[in-house]
Structure 1
Amino acid sequence: MRTLIVVPTYNEVSNIRKLIERIFALGIPDLEVLVVDDNSPDGTAGVVEELQKQNPHLHLIRRSGKYGLGTAYVEGFKFAIKHQYELIFEMDADLSHNPEDIQRILAAMEKYDLVIGSRYLTGVNVVNWPLSRLVLSLFANWYTRKITGLPLKDCTSGFKCFRRKVLESIDIDRIKSDGYSFQIELHFLAWKKGFRIKEIPIIFIDRESGSSKMSRKVMFEAAWMVWRLKIMDLLGKI
């Protein structure tokens, strides 16, 4: 089954080569990778272009500016839909998501429409986060479940796989959120549309190299997003 892993990047030159090599070393048939780069000044896109010379299954979209995670995924989803990939992954570029978990997610996709790699399904499986960030993440997930009713342990996970029909059912051009709120919005819309969703446990290891993209703006946007989704649902606009 044709599978595309979408990887947004901004200043990931220290990670992107290792990630791509580890993904393709898995030897999964019909698997391809799309890097969506936000004009990284550190030369991330150049590394990808170098790897493309030896690998026809590696693709690159170079954007003209730093437009953010949400729009990068939307652009990647459009590429996947246009080229008729059946399964579409979201995955971080910083190696916090273990490439070996791709196979476990694919196995679960045989029975589900959306499979989410969950940090909190079997307790707390997060490594190298400061306590303050862990508490914030746990609270954000509790808050999201409380307000929206979304039945997930990890509402903000960025490691997952969709069937193409899930993304085709969502008007992805209307999604303007970023970061955590982008993940919440996608999960909520898929749930409300009745798709089969499964969480499987993963261990999240904070980035091996580089700096985090987390910001207060992302956190406040997520806090507002859950109320926006709740109101839209009550008004029948989902």
Structure 2
Amino acid sequence: MPNTLVIIPTYNERDNIGPIVARVRASVPAADVLIVDDASPDGTGVLADALVAGDAHVHVLHRRSKAGLGAAYLEAFGWGLSRGYDRLVQLDADGSHLPEQLPALLRASETADVVMGSRWVPGGMVENWPWHRRALSQGGSIYSRVILRLRQRDVTGGYRVYSQYALERMRLSNIDSLGYCFQIDMLLHAVQAHLLVVEVPITFVERTLGSSKMSGRIVAEAMGRVTLWGLTGKGATRSAVSQPAANTGG
């Protein structure tokens, strides 16, 4: 396995952080884990420190305040790249991204620059979502795909693997989206850098502990920004080489 770093951003994930780290360590024992905590008031950062003390493969990056998912990932990418990791993984702390499916994504990353865990390709699925949540997610992906001329099916999904090569080509200093729009912005930069982007089917599971940070206002703001990008020509002028799904054997 390449030198892999699994990045887990946290904000008030006290009930989830221990179990999710344990599942990651069991699924990919050779990988390292970086918890990026945005000064959670519920004590998540303290629990992260305890995990670090008990496992040399676990690290923590304490941020001073809650500044958005994108800011957390960008700082974590810089941390990982400066330490020579070959593969950097995005994974949610709430259990919606199954660590048990990470080996399949990493296998696909052996021949791809960017691997996206996809809910909306054949074999992908969502568990425990009401119809309106599913419609909102699929609708956001379809709208973004059309207006930005993207080929990928799940443009808002956050379970991803980036190669070191990809992140160095993507001009991360130009990423200015910190919230829900961050995943779309990252994909758009990957496409514009003509990277090989592959989607692998995953099962997305709604969280059972803690509260979701998603809201209608956040989605509306993201779609407004996507619309602006489309109208001002930021969309992909020529799509990167892409595949709808990878045959991972799992």
The residue type paired with residue 189 of structure 1 is H
- For structure 2, the residue ranges without an aligned partner over 5 or more in a row are 238-250
The residue type paired with residue 60 of structure 2 is L
Is 2:14–2:43's contact at 8 Å kept on the other side of the alignment? yes
Is 2:123–2:201's contact at 8 Å kept on the other side of the alignment? no
Determine the structure 2 residue equivalent to 1:218.
Answer: 218
Is 1:177–1:221's contact at 8 Å kept on the other side of the alignment? no
Change (3 A) 1:27 1:200: closer
Determine the structure 1 residue equivalent to 2:241.
Answer: none
Deviation of 1:180 after TM superposition, in Å, equals: 2.8
> Equivalences for 1:67-216 in 2 at 5 Å?
67-122=67-122, 125-216=125-216
Determine the structure 2 residue equivalent to 1:20.
Answer: 21
The residue type paired with residue 13 of structure 2 is E
Deviations 1:86-119 (A, max 9, x none): 0000010000110011100011111100010001
Change (3 A) 1:124 1:100: closer
Greater shift, 195-204 or 210-219, is seen at 210-219
Determine the structure 2 residue equivalent to 1:9.
Answer: 10
SS of residue matched to 2:190: helix
Greater shift, 45-54 or 174-183, is seen at 174-183
Identity of aligned residues (%): 37
Deviation of 1:235 after TM superposition, in Å, equals: 11
Determine the structure 2 residue equivalent to 1:66.
Answer: 66
Is 1:80–1:88's contact at 8 Å kept on the other side of the alignment? yes
Determine the structure 1 residue equivalent to 2:234.
Answer: 233
Deviations 1:181-230 (A, max 9, x none): 10001011101211001101001001121000002342123212323433
Determine the structure 2 residue equivalent to 1:48.
Answer: 48
Greater shift, 172-181 or 100-109, is seen at 172-181
SS of residue matched to 1:195: coil
Deviation of 1:128 after TM superposition, in Å, equals: 1.4
Change (3 A) 1:98 1:235: closer
Separation (CA, whole Å) in 2 of partners of 1:234 and 1:24: 38
Deviations 1:23-48 (A, max 9, x none): 1112432x101111011111111111
TM-score normalised by the chain length of structure 1 = 0.93
Is 2:171–2:189's contact at 8 Å kept on the other side of the alignment? no
SS of residue matched to 2:180: helix
The residue type paired with residue 220 of structure 2 is F
Deviation of 1:124 after TM superposition, in Å, equals: 6.2
SS of residue matched to 2:88: strand
Separation (CA, whole Å) in 2 of partners of 1:93 and 1:220: 24
Change (3 A) 1:132 1:27: closer
- For structure 1, the residue ranges without an aligned partner over 5 or more in a row are none
Change (3 A) 1:12 1:189: same
Separation (CA, whole Å) in 1 of partners of 2:41 and 2:235: 44
Change (3 A) 1:202 1:185: same
Deviations 1:129-150 (A, max 9, x none): 2221111111101101110111
Q: Calculate the aligned-residue CA RMSD, in Å.
A: 1.7
Is 1:185–1:229's contact at 8 Å kept on the other side of the alignment? no
Separation (CA, whole Å) in 2 of partners of 1:194 and 1:163: 14
Is 2:149–2:236's contact at 8 Å kept on the other side of the alignment? no
